[in-house]
Structure 1
Amino acid sequence: MVKNYFKIAWRNLVKKKAYSVINIFGLGLGMACCFLIFMFVQDELSYDNYHEKGDRIYRVIHGYKSAKDSEESAKANPFWVWGNAPIGPALRQDFPEIEKVVQFSGRADILLTYEDKIYQEDGVFFMDSTAFDVFSWPLVRGNPKTVLAAPYSIVLTESTAKKYFGDADPIGKALHGSESAGRSNAGDYTVTGIMKDVPSNSHFRFNALLSMSTFKKSRPEIFDEWGYVDSYTYFLVKDQFNEAAFKQKIPAFLTRVQKDPNYTIGIEPLKNVYLRTFAERQPGETGSLPNIYVFSIIGIFILVIAIINFMNLATARSMERGKEVGIRKSIGAERSSLIFQFLGESFLIVFLSMMVAALIVFVALPYMIDFTGKQLVVLRFVNWQTIPFMIGGMLLIGLVAGSYPALVLSGFRPALVLKGVTRSTAGGINLRRGLVIFQFSLSIALIAGTIIVYSQMNQLLDKDLGFDKERMLVLDYNYDEAVNRKSQVLKTEMESIPAVLSSAFSRSVPGSHFPNAGTEIQGADGEMKGLGQPIFQVGIDFITHFGLKLVAGRSYSREFPSDSTSALVVNEAAAKQYGYTNPADIVGKKFDQWGRKGVVIGVVKDFNFISLHRTIEPLTLPFEAYASRYMTLKIKTENIPGTIQEIKAVWSRLVPHRPFLYSFLDDDFNRQYQSDFIFRRLFTTFACLAIFIACLGLLGLATYTAELRTKEIGIRKVLGADVRNIIALLSSDFIKLVLIAIVIATPISWYAMNQWLESFAYKMEIRLWIFAVAGLVALFIAAFTISFQSVKAALMNPVTSLRSE
């Protein structure tokens, strides 16, 4: 009997090839899209899960208590992951539930040299020797207890070791390291260990680890300073750790160990640091939980749309199987056996769709990897844990997609069916209409979402940031003192190149890392007021070079030699921070910052030196000639490759010991939006695929509707109806359904996308025209899809349709 059911199912698939292709390909495409999205979401959710002790790892976040317990004051006083060093030993001493503490520095970009190989490594941290006791980073060579114990020890990842030493054994060999920012650590580092490359699903990654004892040897004083920020603190707790009880002990602990009543700390479990953190100054990248929800919903939408297609076509075609059901019932077939038969046919289609889905995934995976930049491997997601879920999912899809058609077909009354009474019930017609409305509501919501995502990203790219970022070539020399000593010579030589318009030196550029500084500025009452804010240490030409606008006072000038030691420029937000609503009022006020004292000489108009996800923060721009990391050149647009070669020649002649590392400022700044660009690409791609799948179902349904009404169309044509009348007749029902879908989708998509826009400080306004355009696009797509079959039916010879039986 089962073999017979299989033969009948196969013959039905072969007999109606068009419907079979639409069903199998549409469902397979939906499954493939859902699986690709599942891979992306699972990769995002898997961050840091590879640590064997991950459920016992926490980290410290640092903050200052808000003046008022309100949302606004909390935003003004965010927590940082980057903080002071003394907190680690203090926690270890006071809390017996802490088993190990591991601390590491802020990222220490460093120039490493071995023989003739010179690279500026931009993924290096000074790390405690307890790192390998806490984190699961497998060592290929070396003792995990000692590799980071001695000063001037270095542990390399396998790829970094290969870069310097090839296939030779690097253990015991020395790499010469230059000094990095704020750390007097130049010297020869002995390779003591080789470790596996850090997995891609880690919230921070690195190429090499330097021993923290090296940093302590060069700057011992900062490890006792509660106000010096340059450490990340993670710790491993013992089993049965009570997080709530631990947090309750923090206030008393802070009162014992330090004097600042406003300073506070919190803790975050490792499982939360990638997707659920709210702290700033992360050691690496973070993800977006709202984006994960959006992608998951899109994946479900696509699969639901594909299942709806299957149900619509199966129920619409049910009357063709009416006589078969009538004969089976009249010779004794029970309803349960008929349900089993038709569910079996459903499972067969689902199985074939799974095969199509596997093929689509195989073809599409390289593009998905290119889209996301992730290392997505199918075998990583298909294992003994996920296979039962996949089989269960396939059975569930077959059951959901096939249950209604099976119940409808098995419920036919044989006496009526064998008399030819096989009309669709009103319930079946309404169900199909409801499913079409539902899937097009989803499609319209996705179209509107795509327009909003593109508009928001274009706003980010096109917004006037308040500084000149076009044609800016940034040379990174990582604070090299030898380069800073030659800064004036470099400036003169570079600006002698005809294509170079101007140049400037600075410690930070917009979009790059910047420190924060405690700064005292005289208030309106004459008292010194101490606050903290970001700091850009800049050269004398920085403000004019970047086109920053002065709203009060003046910029730094060579006509005032004292500017190098006793002058300060701030932005408008900093002036407001100190209580001056009129920027001109802060000019001439005294300041004290990092050992420099003098007066504020100017105020620049606020400019977006950080991502547009955040509002403009208070900023000070002290003049510092010898603490720079970057040389920025404004160049002409003609023959950029030739200009770069000229600049490289000057660089190699004046500072031959430094590699020539350059980038363009606009590219660097836009790199902050990399995750947003990935979101846009994925959202748009899968939204288009969802719409395409919906149209497949609509095409199949329109084709079947036209077949059912073949005789009606023939009669109408004989009675004088023209092609336009026939097309309008066949299209009007579907167009009405799409119009209803527009009404349903508009408020839903408005709410969903408004929630997504909340993550941007500068967000577009959602206007009604977006939903009008989305609706028109959906109408056009639906009309185009239906018209193909409608025109074909309208052009059919009525003689042929009326004589066929």
Structure 2
Amino acid sequence: MLRNYFKIAWRNLWKKKIYTSINILGLGIGMACCLLIAIYVQDELSYDKYHTNTNRIYRVVHAETYGEDLKNTAPPAPGEFAVWGNAPVGPALRADFPEVEEVVQFSGRADILLRYGDKNFQEEGIFFADAAVFDLFSWKFIAGNPKTALEDPYSIVLPESTAKKYFGEENPIGKTLEGSSAPGRANAGNYRVTGVIEDIPENSHFNFPALLSMNTFRKSREDIFDMWGYVDFYTYLLVSENFSIEAFEKKIPDFITRRRGISPDSKYTIALEPLSDVYLKSEAGRQPGDTGSLPNIYIFSLIGLFILAIACINFMNLSTARSLERAREVGIRKTVGAARKNLIFQFLSESVLIVTFAAFLALFFVFIALPFVADLTEKNFRSVDLFNWQSALVYLCIIFGLGLLSGIYPAMVLSGFKPALILKGISNTHTKGAALRKGLVIFQFSLSIILIIGTCIVFTQMGYLLDKDLGFDREQMLVIDYNYDGRVNNKIETLKNTFNHLPEISSVAAARTVPGSYFPNAGTTIESQEGTMALNVPAIYEVDVDFIHHFDLELAAGRAYSRDFPVDTIQSLVINEATARLYGYSNPGDIIGKRFQQWGREGKVIGVVKDFNYLSLHQNIEPLTLRLAPSECRYLTLKVTTSDLPAAIARIKDVWTHAVPHRPFLYKFLDEDFNRQYQADFRFRKLFTIFSCLAIFIACLGLFGLASYTAEQRTKEIGIRKVLGASVTNVVMLLSKDFIKLVVIAIVIASPLAWYAMTRWLEDFAYRIELQWWMFTLAGIAAITIALLTVSGQSIKAATTNPVKSLRTE
């Protein structure tokens, strides 16, 4: 019997090649998309799960509120916490809470120039770490002793790839790397290699090219390890098996009061984040590495389900539409004694067979597409990861599950035919099935239209991010990174003058940071309108005298730094408008001349620049102070005016190599570097667009199949209408209008759902577009156009068929 079922199934599939191809291709693409999305989502969800004690590791996050009425201040929101915090909190937690078994702290990220022989590289994102770091984190040692590797000052542990970069196949243990200073953390010195570990897995919330011993940092700045107000540390805890985070959080207020005391100027608190949550769920600022987006995970998961649902709907629609062709077969089988359960099993077997073919096709698609998706997502996906017994088991379950899900309704419909009526040529199943098919078409096109609208809005928002006026000049700004090198800062004016004499350069400025890069915060006291000194902690840019004019920052009040006022270097401060508002001045001019204190400097506010977006447009403009400190700079920024950039870069490199031979020429363009903040957003746009197009394509496949079947069933009617004088246009409209009505209904259903979903997505951006009616209208027109193009091909073919032939063959 089973052999007979599969033989009949194979004959039916082979007989109707077009419908079989549509079903298998649609299901294959749908399953491939789901598999690719599942691989991506699984990778995102796997971050930091490779550690042995993942469930027992927590990260400390810090929040500090400033103001007058601190007692009545609301608890900080998750987004007001920062991962970056003070050093004393770690040992204090270890001492006061027996459930805290171990504390590990990192400091960084530091960028250090390392040399070995004639090889030198500026390594970015090096961390200083406690010696116990390998007790918490499961980073596997290749060489060295994990217990002692980071005990001594100036010891360094390298990942395998970094070790090979400097030492090749040599044994690096005991060898020395010459290192530059780590500003604010350690002086230059020789670092002895004490360990080599396997490269950090990509699914880690932070990565590093090397780890330096925390005692290196401690040796140069012992005092800050006892300062609750100095922030430069990331603190991780290993807790006991029976740890309760709820019970722990209740003890935090007493702990803060006991250890740090009560401050009249600020209110400080901490919270814990489970390690397994820090990549996708943390909203805290100052992250040590990249973070993911849980909403994007939900969106991609929904898209995967949408695509699979659309593919399954195609199968159900075409199966029920063709049910009348199998009616006589069912009638004969029932007449000779076949039970309904046997017929259901038969048709489900056919469904599983189709899904099996589609599954193999999906695997082929995945194998072809995986390298492209890996490149697009910047992840290391491998085809070999798909072929293991766990994946095979899951895939088999999916095949049978989809086969049953897609085939159950067609099987119930076909097996329910009454043999007496069917053999007489009477059936009322056509009208019942038609209503369901229309509902399913509306449903799948509603999903497709939601994706069309979403794609339109995503593209518009990304274009807005790129085109928005940020309030500063970022075009053709070449940024040279010399990493705070004192020898460069000592001759910075000479360098600037040399570059200014190049015809390709119109202006030059130096700064500790540039928009889009790292910056610290500084405790800053400014005189309030009442005459009292108010403390806040705005961001700080340390700049040279030319920075404001070089970046074309507009002044809202006062003046910029000037060489005409030498006293600016010791007693002047420029701020932005957001800082003026922070201290209670709605009119920027009112803060000019007010007293300030910041990092040991006292003087008066001399200028207020208009707010500019030095942060990503995901964030509002935050308070910022611009402190004149040319000796603290890291970057040299050159405004390039020529269109021949390669030639200009070559000349700039020649000047740099001659003037600063000990520093590599490391450069970037500011606009490209600033836009890297949106790298995840652009990646999301590409993935969203690709999968949306595939979903629409699958929906069109189903519509094409239904249009073909409808035209085939109405061949005789079309022939009669043409004999009676109907034009090709009349026939095309006749066959198309029913489908267009369904698409219009889908537009009405999809538009409010898309509006709600995309409004929520846009909430992640502080600066965002407003949803406009034309976006939904454009998506609706696109959907109707796509449907018309899909249906009209078959409609035109039917309309242009010779009526004599169609009437004779019918």
Shorter-chain TM-score bucket reads over 0.9
Aligned-partner residue type, residue 215 of structure 1 = F
Q: Report Cα offsets for 1:433-487 as digits up to 9, x if no partner.
A: 0000000000111000001101111111110000001110000011110110110
Is this contact kept in 2: 1:63–1:77, CA < 8 A?
A: no
Report the Cα distance in structure 1 between the residues aligned to 2:428 and 2:732, rounded to whole angstroms.
23
Residue 80 of structure 1 aligns to a residue whose secondary structure is coil
Q: How many residues align?
A: 805
Is this contact kept in 1: 2:78–2:283, CA < 8 A?
A: no
Residue 525 of structure 1 aligns to a residue whose secondary structure is coil
Report the Cα distance in structure 1 between the residues aligned to 2:228 and 2:72, rounded to whole angstroms.
26
How well do the aligned residues superpose, as a CA RMSD in angstroms? 1.4
Q: Report Cα offsets for 1:216-252 as digits up to 9, x if no partner.
A: 0111011011111110000101111111111111111
Residue 187 of structure 2 aligns to a residue whose secondary structure is coil
Alignment of 1:187-198 (within 5 A): 187-198=189-200
Q: Show the counterpart of 2:36.
A: 36
Report the Cα distance in structure 1 between the residues aligned to 2:364 and 2:493, rounded to whole angstroms.
61
Q: Show the counterpart of 2:47.
A: 47
Residue 124 of structure 1 aligns to a residue whose secondary structure is strand
Alignment of 1:272-671 (within 5 A): 272-380=277-385, 383-422=388-427, 424-671=429-676
Report the Cα distance in structure 2 between the residues aligned to 1:130 and 1:683, rounded to whole angstroms.
42
Alignment of 1:766-777 (within 5 A): 766-777=771-782
Aligned-partner residue type, residue 40 of structure 1 = Y
In the superposition, relative to structure 1, how do residues 700 and 637 fare at CA in structure 2: closer, same or farther (>3 Å)? Answer: farther
Residue 80 of structure 2 aligns to a residue whose secondary structure is coil
Report the Cα distance in structure 2 between the residues aligned to 1:633 and 1:326, rounded to whole angstroms.
84
Residue 256 of structure 1 aligns to a residue whose secondary structure is helix
Q: Show the counterpart of 1:19.
A: 19
Q: Show the counterpart of 2:223.
A: 221
Is 1:778 the equivalent of 2:780?
Answer: no
Report the Cα distance in structure 2 between the residues aligned to 1:154 and 1:421, rounded to whole angstroms.
85
Aligned identity (percent) is 61
Is 1:717 the equivalent of 2:722?
Answer: yes
Residue 99 of structure 1 aligns to a residue whose secondary structure is strand
Q: Show the counterpart of 1:236.
A: 238
Residue 241 of structure 2 aligns to a residue whose secondary structure is coil
Aligned-partner residue type, residue 104 of structure 2 = V
Deviation at 1:324, TM superposition (A): 1.0
Q: Show the counterpart of 1:10.
A: 10
Deviation at 1:371, TM superposition (A): 1.2
Residue 626 of structure 1 aligns to a residue whose secondary structure is helix
Deviation at 1:396, TM superposition (A): 1.3
Residue 764 of structure 1 aligns to a residue whose secondary structure is coil
Aligned-partner residue type, residue 54 of structure 1 = T
Q: Show the counterpart of 1:696.
A: 701
Q: Report Cα offsets for 1:86-137 as digits up to 9, x if no partner.
A: 1111111111111111000020110000000010000210011111000010
Deviation at 1:370, TM superposition (A): 1.4
Aligned-partner residue type, residue 416 of structure 2 = G
Aligned-partner residue type, residue 209 of structure 1 = L
Report the Cα distance in structure 1 between the residues aligned to 2:369 and 2:197, rounded to whole angstroms.
33
Aligned-partner residue type, residue 46 of structure 1 = S
Residue 516 of structure 1 aligns to a residue whose secondary structure is coil
Q: Show the counterpart of 1:130.
A: 132
In the superposition, relative to structure 1, how do residues 376 and 113 fare at CA in structure 2: closer, same or farther (>3 Å)? Answer: same
Is this contact kept in 2: 1:588–1:599, CA < 8 A?
A: yes
Is this contact kept in 2: 1:64–1:77, CA < 8 A?
A: no
Is 1:166 the equivalent of 2:171?
Answer: no
Deviation at 1:387, TM superposition (A): 3.7
Deviation at 1:380, TM superposition (A): 3.7
| Candidates 69, 90, 98, aligned match of 1:96 | 98
Aligned-partner residue type, residue 50 of structure 2 = Y
In the superposition, relative to structure 1, how do residues 420 and 795 fare at CA in structure 2: closer, same or farther (>3 Å)? Answer: same
Residue 193 of structure 2 aligns to a residue whose secondary structure is strand
Aligned-partner residue type, residue 58 of structure 2 = Y
Report the Cα distance in structure 2 between the residues aligned to 1:347 and 1:229, rounded to whole angstroms.
60
Q: Report Cα offsets for 1:513-568 as digits up to 9, x if no partner.
A: 00000001111112111111100000100000000000100000000000111110
In the superposition, relative to structure 1, how do residues 332 and 426 fare at CA in structure 2: closer, same or farther (>3 Å)? Answer: same
Deviation at 1:69, TM superposition (A): 10
Is 1:760 the equivalent of 2:762?
Answer: no
Report the Cα distance in structure 2 between the residues aligned to 1:303 and 1:599, rounded to whole angstroms.
65
Residue 570 of structure 2 aligns to a residue whose secondary structure is helix
Report the Cα distance in structure 1 between the residues aligned to 2:73 and 2:512, rounded to whole angstroms.
33
Is this contact kept in 2: 1:319–1:423, CA < 8 A?
A: no
Q: Report Cα offsets for 1:344-376 as digits up to 9, x if no partner.
A: 000000000000000000111111011111112
In the superposition, relative to structure 1, how do residues 181 and 260 fare at CA in structure 2: closer, same or farther (>3 Å)? Answer: farther
Aligned-partner residue type, residue 606 of structure 1 = D
Deviation at 1:4, TM superposition (A): 1.2
Deviation at 1:272, TM superposition (A): 1.1
Q: Show the counterpart of 1:747.
A: 752
Is this contact kept in 2: 1:82–1:106, CA < 8 A?
A: no
Residue 536 of structure 1 aligns to a residue whose secondary structure is strand
Q: Show the counterpart of 2:214.
A: 212
Unaligned runs of 5+ in 1: none
Q: Report Cα offsets for 1:708-752 as digits up to 9, x if no partner.
A: 000000111111111011000000100000000000000000000
Aligned-partner residue type, residue 344 of structure 2 = I
Deviation at 1:400, TM superposition (A): 1.0
